[in-house]
């Protein structure tokens, strides 16, 4: 009887650890999807790209006030995979694993980075900051990466 109880308790503990690990590492994918009816900030694309470049290097976006987009994506060439050669939306391994997303848009990828590496809150969906980082990612970072890979 003692062995049965011990086995049961071991199974329960193992299950609890597995579930808590998934919850601790998981991100609710609904958090990364633009809410129905919300509208993205609209503005001059060149101005958004300029603002996005500043934000790309801004540590105040992160919870620890030290992490930046540029810190992970040095010279706009590192920390990207082959999927970054494809237009958005596309598959990205990290959000696929952490948020169970098979495909992600550029703005949702910005939001994912805010939550995961930056450990901060998502940006408001109608914010100039989200629009600017998305524009900079698409128009500068992704294009620089593609140009680098084509060499």
- Evaluate whether 126 touches 41 at the Cβ level (below 8 Å): yes
| Confidence (pLDDT) at 23 | 39
* CA proximity to 54, closest of 38, 69, 39: 69
CB-based burial of residue 93 (10 Å sphere; 0-12 exposed, 13-18 middle, 19+ buried)? exposed
C-alpha dist (Å) from residue 99 to 33, 96, 125: 11, 6, 18
* pLDDT tens digits for range 73-97: 877 666 677 888 889 999 999 999 9
Question: Residue 53 is encoded by which pair of tokens?
Answer: 């470049």
User: Model's pTM, two decimal places?
Assistant: 0.80
| Confidence (pLDDT) at 82 | 82
Which class is 29-150 in CATH?
A: mainly alpha
| Confidence (pLDDT) at 149 | 82
| Confidence (pLDDT) at 72 | 85
- CA–CA distance, 117 with 67 (Å, rounded to integer): 8
- Evaluate whether 146 touches 69 at the Cβ level (below 8 Å): no
Local structure of residue 101 (DSSP, 8 states): -
115 bridge partner residues: none
| Confidence (pLDDT) at 11 | 40
| Confidence (pLDDT) at 78 | 61
| Confidence (pLDDT) at 146 | 87
The pLDDT tens digits along the chain (151 residues) read 545 544 444 444 433 433 332 334 589 999 999 999 999 999 999 999 999 999 999 999 999 999 999 998 877 666 677 888 889 999 999 999 999 999 999 999 999 999 999 999 999 999 999 999 999 999 999 998 888 888 7
- Evaluate whether 138 touches 40 at the Cβ level (below 8 Å): no
Half-sphere exposure for 71 (CA within 13 Å, toward CB): 14
Local structure of residue 139 (DSSP, 8 states): I
């Amino acid at each position: 009887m003692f062995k049965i109880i011990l086995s049961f308790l071991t199974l329960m503990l193992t299950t609890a650890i597995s579930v808590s690990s998934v919850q601790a590492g998981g991100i609710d994918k609904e958090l990364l999807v633009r809410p129905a009816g919300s509208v993205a900030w609209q503005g001059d694309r060149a101005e958004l790209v300029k603002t996005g470049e500043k934000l790309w290097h801004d540590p105040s976006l992160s919870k620890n006030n030290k992490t930046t987009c540029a810190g992970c994506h040095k010279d706009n060439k590192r920390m990207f995979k082959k999927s970054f050669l494809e237009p958005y939306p596309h598959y990205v391994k990290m959000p696929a694993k952490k948020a169970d997303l098979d495909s992600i848009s550029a703005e949702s990828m910005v939001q994912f980075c805010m939550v995961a590496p930056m450990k901060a809150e998502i940006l408001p969906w109608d914010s100039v900051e989200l629009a600017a980082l998305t524009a900079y990612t698409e128009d500068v970072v992704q294009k620089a990466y593609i140009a680098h890979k084509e060499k």
